[in-house]
Amino acid sequence: MTASGTFGYGTEYSQLFDIQRLGAIVCKGTTLKPREGNPQPRLVETASGVINSIGLQNIGVKALIKEKAPVWAGWRVPVIVNIAGDTVEEYGKLAKELDGVEGIRGIEVNISCPNVKAGGAAFGADANSAAAVTKAVKAATSLPIIVKLTPNAGEIAGVARAVVDAGADAVSLITSVKGMAIDIKTRRPTIGNVTGGLSGPAIKPLALALVYEVAGAVKVPVIGCGGIATAQDALEFIMAGASAVQVGRPRSAIPAPPWMSWKALRVLWKKRG
Ligand SMILES: Cc1cc2nc3c(=O)[nH]c(=O)nc-3n(C[C@H](O)[C@H](O)[C@H](O)COP(=O)(O)O)c2cc1C
């Protein structure tokens, strides 16, 4: 599968390679209202991964249902919608909106978002909040639910057990890890939002250990994610207990993901004039 936020809505890549060969596409995190995202700069390279702080820039659930779902309905590859909210109620509303929409085959619940009502700590950092979100989503939809766990939680196996008890059909992990970089010339953080999420090869050992821990704690399928760049990496995750994997931004210091051939880049270049 593609990891949320690294593959847009799938439509952007459909002319570059045969996306129907993918196991599934997980689209960009979607909120109730459209969001413009965080201040620039939002992406910085580090030695072995990128730090991003996109801030959930997205078109909002209404536009997603109107513009994207009808296209997805004609695809062989299943599309899973990643959702994000600031309150438990928002998650429930999002799930209700998506329920029964043709072209949407599942929901991935991003619980790394700050829980506005509980003072800004991530839903995923606390088993009770994570379970409350899962329950609200489960009650609002008959679609399969994947809950995406954050490595920034103290006790991830406890959170995993809580979301499964609350109705999650599968769990995916991990989202990016809180990170920071500073430009020593300007003495300022290189990310506009000061900190962001680190992803890529740097987080693979951490993700693998957490997948191993969670796979031992729950009986539902576990989807591994974090720094997977090669088939060998994917096999490591499967050996650690994952049933499937997601690939985001595989390598640092290369301008494009490996599926982008020179031919594909030329097509893009021409399109941009
Ligand atoms: C630019 C960017 C945007 C992302 N946006 C989201 C998002 O909207 N929702 C989400 O759950 N995860 C998001 N992620 C996290 C990825 O889905 C994935 O969990 C993380 O990047 C680790 O995988 P990787 O090392 O293969 O990239 C984003 C990651 C990146 C790099």
Q: Supply the residue whose CA is at minimum distance from atom 21 of ligand 1.
A: 199
Mutate to test the pocket of ligand 1, among 199, 222, 230 (most ligand atoms within 8 A of CB): 199
Share of the chain above pLDDT 90, in %: 85
Residue recorded with tokens 């650690």: 240
Catalytic residue among 25, 113, 132, 211: 113
In the prediction, which pLDDT does 159 show? 97
Pocket perturbation via mutation, ligand 1, pick of 145, 149, 176 by most ligand atoms within 8 A of CB: 176
What digits encode the pLDDT tens for the residues 233-242? 999 999 999 9
Q: Which residues pair with 172 in a beta bridge?
A: 148, 223
User: Which residues have CB under 6 Å of ligand 1?
Assistant: 3-6, 28-29, 50, 52, 54, 56, 82, 110, 148, 175-176, 199-200, 203, 225-228, 247-249
Determine how many CB atoms are found less than 10 A away from the CB of residue 36: 9
CA distances from 262 to 41, 121, 130, 256, 266 (A): 27, 43, 43, 10, 6
Kindly indicate the confidence band of residue 114, based on its pLDDT and cuts at 50, 70 and 90: confident
Q: What is the pLDDT of residues 197-215, one digit of tens each?
A: 999 999 999 999 999 999 9
97, 107, 204, 246, 249 from 7: Cα distances, Å: 22, 16, 19, 11, 9
Closest CA to 38 of 20, 58, 13, 24: 58
pLDDT tens-digit map of 181-192: 999 999 999 999
Q: Would the pTM of this model clear 0.85, i.e. be above it?
A: yes
pLDDT score recorded for residue 252 = 47
Q: What is the pLDDT of residue 50?
A: 94
Q: Which helix (H) or strand (E) holds 122?
A: none
